[in-house]
């Protein structure tokens, strides 16, 4: 059996090293995502023959694994995961993109079958699109931003350059959750824990961020980090929905000021929530990154 250990902040150096040179644009391919959501998925990992192996505990008690990250034949590390599972009928890999699937098939042809999970697809946009919002389909986004600018005394500030705003973001987050908890949505509480972790350990996680101030008060903030050489991942974005255009302006301003040097922006998945899917689709993703679960063929 593999000796998996629960992921902690102290494991960042090891996991960053094992993910160095990663070219997959999938949201799971960075330490901050794995660590930030470890409270939900009971995430653990092990370094095995220069591969990073990641394990989750899923809702029905079964285990799920990510594709082994490393260089070389995938058969040995995948077989090690199958042995760890202990029951091949229950073995499952999650978050498998088409390129991952191609690599797995090359090492283990015909062994697995895949099932796309729509709620796990990543929404990826060009930075140019998010900055300029050109075209008829994005007219409403431009209208929201123009209205926001007209109605508010506002400014953008970089959390990357001004970490003194982090405590004020934590206060804003507490106000935000108080305003939204009446929906009794468990996912909001889980998201609150993750976002609090990102704010508290902003520097340790090498995050970048930005805030929108309205009359000197924080109305919106966003946080993320580089994912690959050409892709930046946005982990979280919070805004007061009663301020018209607050979400639109933090999205646009953050990309313009902080990450315009990246070709792509991964804004993660919608987790199957229709409102979130509608919001993410409204920006017309350039890549809807399909991800699947893999199981052994019966």
Give the SS3 label for residue 162.
coil
Question: How large is the average pLDDT for residues 7-34?
Answer: 96
DSSP label at residue 174: H
pLDDT > 90? residue 45: yes
pLDDT > 70? residue 260: yes
Co-location of 147 and 256 in the same domain: yes
Report if residue 256 sits inside a domain. Answer: yes
Give the SS3 label for residue 52.
strand
Co-location of 140 and 210 in the same domain: yes
Q: To the nearest 10°, the Cα dihedral for 97, 25, 76, 1?
A: -90
Report if residue 280 sits inside a domain. Answer: no
Co-location of 134 and 50 in the same domain: no
Co-location of 166 and 258 in the same domain: yes
Query: How crowded is residue 73: how many other Cβ atoms within 10 Å of its Cβ?
Result: 12
Co-location of 146 and 258 in the same domain: yes
Co-location of 254 and 150 in the same domain: yes
Return the pLDDT at 85: 86
User: Which range (24-38, 86-100, 142-156, 241-255) has the least confidence?
Assistant: 86-100
Q: Among 251, 201, 208, which residue's Cα sits nearest to residue 232?
A: 208
Co-location of 113 and 16 in the same domain: yes
Phi, psi of 27 (to 5 degrees): -65, -20
pLDDT in tens, 212-235: 999 999 999 999 999 999 999 999
Report if residue 276 sits inside a domain. Answer: no
d(C-alpha 196, C-alpha 118), whole Å: 27
- Contact between residue 217 and residue 245 where contact means Cβ atoms under 8 Å apart: no
Return the pLDDT at 88: 61
Question: How large is the average pLDDT for residues 97-117?
Answer: 97
Give the SS3 label for residue 104.
helix
Report if residue 274 sits inside a domain. Answer: no
Mean of per-residue pLDDT scores for the chain:
94
Co-location of 130 and 68 in the same domain: no
Return the pLDDT at 63: 84
Q: What is the pTM of this model?
A: 0.95
pLDDT > 70? residue 264: yes
Provide the CATH number for the domain around residue 19. Answer: 3.40.630.30
Co-location of 203 and 126 in the same domain: yes
Question: How large is the average pLDDT for residues 239-267?
Answer: 97
Name residue 210's beta-bridge partners.
158, 222
Co-location of 96 and 13 in the same domain: yes
The count of domains in the chain is: 2
Residue numbers of the domain that contains 160: 122-268
Co-location of 158 and 252 in the same domain: yes
pLDDT in tens, 171-222: 999 999 998 877 657 788 899 999 999 999 999 999 999 999 999 999 999 9
Return the pLDDT at 183: 61
Report if residue 284 sits inside a domain. Answer: no
Co-location of 259 and 126 in the same domain: yes
């Amino acid at each position: 059996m593999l000796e998996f250990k629960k992921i902690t902040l102290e494991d960042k150096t090891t996991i960053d090293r094992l993910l160095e040179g990663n070219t997959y644009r999938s949201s799971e391919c960075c330490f901050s995502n794995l660590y930030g959501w470890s409270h939900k998925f009971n995430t653990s990992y092990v370094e095995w023959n220069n591969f990073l192996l990641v394990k989750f505990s899923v809702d029905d008690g079964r285990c799920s694994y990510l594709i082994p990250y490393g260089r070389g034949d995938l058969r040995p590390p995948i077989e090690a995961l199958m042995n760890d599972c202990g029951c091949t009928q229950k073995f499952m890999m999650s978050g498998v993109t088409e390129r991952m699937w191609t690599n797995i098939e090359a090492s283990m042809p015909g062994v697995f079958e895949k099932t796309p999970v729509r709620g796990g697809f990543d929404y990826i946009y060009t930075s140019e699109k998010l900055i300029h919002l050109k075209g008829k389909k994005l007219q409403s986004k431009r209208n929201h931003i123009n209205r926001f600018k007209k109605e508010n005394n506002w400014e953008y500030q970089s959390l990357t350059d001004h970490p003194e705003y982090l405590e004020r973001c934590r206060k804003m987050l507490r106000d935000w959750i108080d305003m939204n908890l009446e929906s009794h949505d468990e996912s909001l509480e889980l998201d609150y824990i993750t976002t609090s972790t990102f704010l508290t350990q902003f520097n340790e996680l090498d995050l970048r961020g930005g805030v929108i101030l309205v009359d000197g008060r924080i109305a919106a903030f966003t946080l993320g980090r580089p994912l690959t050489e050409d892709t930046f991942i946005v982990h979280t974005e919070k805004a007061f929905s009663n301020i018209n255009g607050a979400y639109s302006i933090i999205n646009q301003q953050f990309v313009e000021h902080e990450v315009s040097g990246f070709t792509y922006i991964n804004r993660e998945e919608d987790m199957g929530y229709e409102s979130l899917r509608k919001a993410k689709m409204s920006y017309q993703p350039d890549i809807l990154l399909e991800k699947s679960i893999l199981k052994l063929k019966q």
